[in-house]
Amino acid sequence: MDTQPNSPEARDIRYNLHAYTNARRHQEAGPLIIEKGEGIYVEDNSGKRYIEAMAGLWSVAVGFSEQRLVDAATKQMSKLPYYHSFTHKAHSPLIDLAEKLVQMAPVPMSKAFFTNSGSEANDTAMKMIWYRSNALGQPQRKKIISRQRGYHGVTIASASLTGLPNNQISFDLPIANVLHTASPHYWREARPGETEEQFSTRLAEELEKLILAEGPETVAAFIGEPVMGAGGVVVPPAGYWEKIQAVLKKYDILLIADEVICGFGRTGEMFGSQTYGLQPDIMVMSKQLSSSYLPISALLINDKVFEPLADESNRIGTFGHGFTAGGHPVAAAVALENLRLIEERDLVGNAREVGAYMQQRLRELSSHELVGEVRGIGLIAAIELVADKATKAPWGQPGALGALTNGLLQQNGVISRNMGDALAFCPPLIITRAQVDEIISALKTSLDEALKQVRA
Ligand SMILES: Cc1ncc(COP(=O)(O)O)c(C=O)c1O
């Protein structure tokens, strides 16, 4: 790290509070400053190149140097740099993107609503559901069930939906009306001898018990990511979504699919809902919607949600919700061009094919002494590190081995992210087989280096 008093590193320490960072440790460790990007690579301010194996934060589908997105932004910026959708106003990118998303949806959807982040979108989903329950004359129906290890964001409502301790401890969360049910992580949570199907059946039974204990008339919705991301890339076990949805249908509970990571190709289908047969009433999307070149997120809602909401807004006089930059014309124009690129270049097909290759290559590492589980689908995966394969015990403090290996991997030129002891891989959808090989080779080296330190 450059420690000169006016170096970018020193100024970063002086002026920035970092997201998801130990603020005290950062004062010692300082930042990794990324200066530029090209394809799946980024380069730091010392000129060192890395494969961005997390696509930033699960988001840069088309890679880090897509001129067509720059051009789309420039063109829209010169024509209409800003407008909004309050009080009956609209603009072309907003209309075009809403139409495109409703048409792309894998289940019948009615309307799109635009927000700026995944968290805002999930807050909006929660507010829409409460509004709807009131509209239907069911003011008691306000509870939303989420899952342990689910990730839905960090604003007050979305962090409440998130099922991870670090997002709630000392923030006085979760708020009322949020319930959490079990995470569907078969490898970690299944009982001895339980098959995946049996595990899924048990989780569905647990969900039903929770609903009955709370009173079905008080439960409005269930939210889930088709594949959990930030909770450690948890792929649902066989039969899981089918059994969960059967319970939701039985009690007329809405399903919100949080497609913020899975959406736009990640799992090898356009939406994770297609990969796992989800039939959501609300779909939440962001990240790969614009490849995160600009902030934008969206909700798609079906008529079960829209119709009562429309009635309620008519009764009150307005739907009193919306964000200044929601559906921003430049972000919407970039999103439209990004979706064109994903379709033209068949990046969903690439996620399926190169994704299958990445899964196969990662699974070759299963025999490594430190690897407890390799899991994933399409171009999203994680390897979970353990000190003892038989007991699945961590090395010292949980997360220590993940952090150690992640640090070594970064030194070896690959940016991953450790969620506890799970190292995630979620590269841009443009990745090639040869580039997957580069990741695997750096990962093997890093695992061996980590093993040496563990043994020492
Ligand atoms: C599934 C999911 N939902 C919601 C969010 C929150 O999105 P944001 O960070 O844009 O608020 C994320 C972010 O990683 C996510 O992965």
Give the tokens for residue 353: 């094919």
| Residue in this structure with the two tokens 């007329």, named with its chain if needed | 252
The response to whether residue 117 sits with its C-beta less than 6 Å from ligand 1 reads yes
Q: Using one digit for the tens of pLDDT, what is the confidence trace for 280-307?
A: 999 999 999 999 999 999 999 999 999 9
- Rounded to an integer, the average pLDDT of 121-130 is 98
Among 397, 378, 379, 377, smallest CA distance to 387 is for 397
Mutate to test the pocket of ligand 1, among 154, 286, 296, 323 (most ligand atoms within 8 A of CB): 286
Give the tokens for residue 422: 């799970």
Distance 416 CA to ligand 1 centre (A): 17
pTM for the whole thing? 0.98
For position 414, what pLDDT does the model report?
A: 98
The helix or strand, by DSSP H or E, that contains position 256, with its residue range, turns out to be strand 254-258
* 155 CA: nearest ligand 1 atom: 11
Alpha helices in 284-432 (DSSP H): 303-316, 329-344, 347-363, 400-411
Cis before 398 (ω within 30): no
Q: Using one digit for the tens of pLDDT, what is the confidence trace for 130-163?
A: 999 999 999 999 999 999 999 999 999 999 999 9
* pLDDT of 1 above 80: no
- Rounded to an integer, the average pLDDT of 33-50 is 98
Q: In whole angstroms, how large is the CA radius of gyration of the chain?
A: 22
* 287 CA: nearest ligand 1 atom: 10
The response to whether residue 292 sits with its C-beta less than 6 Å from ligand 1 reads no
Yes or no: say if 112 and 293 are a contact pair by the CB < 8 Å rule: no
Residue-wise burial string across 7-39, b where 16 or more C-beta atoms lie within 10 A, e elsewhere: eebeebbeeeeeeeeeeeeeeeebbbeeeebeb
Alpha helices in 40-91 (DSSP H): 55-58, 67-79
Among 32, 37, 35, smallest CA distance to 16 is for 32
CA 429 to chain CA centroid, Å, is: 15
| Residue in this structure with the two tokens 């072309």, named with its chain if needed | 92
